[in-house]
Amino acid sequence: SLSAAMKGAHLLTDDGVVVRVHPEGLGSYIDAHPWANFLKSATLYEASRLQRVDLLKRSLDFLNVSATEAKQKFLLGANTRDVNGTLSPENHELLTLYNEACAAFCQANANWRFVSINDVVAYGELTDDRHYTRLGYLEIANYINEEIRSAEVTVEKRKAVKPVGPNLEDMIRSGRMVSRLHLFGTKKGTLSQVKRVIKLTPLSAVFRKRFIGPKKNSRAA
């Protein structure tokens, strides 16, 4: 599923390289290492919901004209059912937008099939809002195999198309610039914000060196 691309912010380097900052990957690393060298020449941006959908559509258009040998293409939807209170309202809205955009794309393009996870995977097979039991994954595989057997394939000739709209760098720059205090990681709430403010204060490094000492895995100077 491409649904993870709807989350997080984007890091833009001074030479035009764009990296998506997923909250549970690079986002958590930035939270723990706000003064990392690679961040010094980089800028962080947060895309709007409309921009995220536009990026998704552009990605799907690229796949459509590039996968010339694929007779059928299956686009996995995102689960929007909450499990144990782990799915936030914000993520629910983003994933709903993702499902709507993907379903519309498959409807408009030949030989694309949208796989609704909400319909295919039973609620009891969800381990959290994004992962399933082995039986849950088997349900997805069985559904796709059945669709392959029963679907009629439309013969089509695709031509390469140039991207429409601004290039990726300009598109990211049009978003909202955010600081390294932005909550990229998974920890939320006031306490997390306070910790980040302290961590980003230059005097905190002096305090740690004077009163706490070096970390166990660090080498002596």
Per-residue pLDDT at 147 exceeds 90: yes
Last residue of a domain, one of 122, 150, 178: 150
Structural domain for 141, as ranges:
69-150
CB 112 within 8 A of CB 73: yes
Whether residue 56 lies inside any domain: the answer is no
Residue 202 within a domain: yes
Reply yes or no on whether the pLDDT at 189 is more than 70.
no
Answer yes or no: are the C-beta atoms of 101 and 83 closer than 8 Å: no
> Is 58 domain-assigned?
no
Instruction: Looking at the structure, tell me whether residues 123 and 89 fall in a common domain.
Output: yes
d(CA 19, CA 12): 7
φ, ψ at 120 (rounded to 5°): -85, -40
Domain count for the chain:
2
Q: Assign 144 to helix, strand or coil.
A: helix
Whether 218 is in a domain gets the answer: no
Which residue's structure tokens are 């609704």? Answer: 116
pLDDT one-digit tens code per residue, 99-113: 999 999 999 998 999
Q: What would the pLDDT profile of 26-78 be if each residue is shown by its tens digit?
A: 888 888 787 888 888 899 999 999 999 999 999 999 899 888 888 899 999 99
Beta bridge partner(s), residue 19: 11
Same domain, 122 and 176: no
Backbone φ and ψ for 114, nearest 5 degrees, come out as -90, 130
At residue 192, does pLDDT exceed 50? yes
Regarding whether 174 and 146 lie in a shared domain, the answer is: no
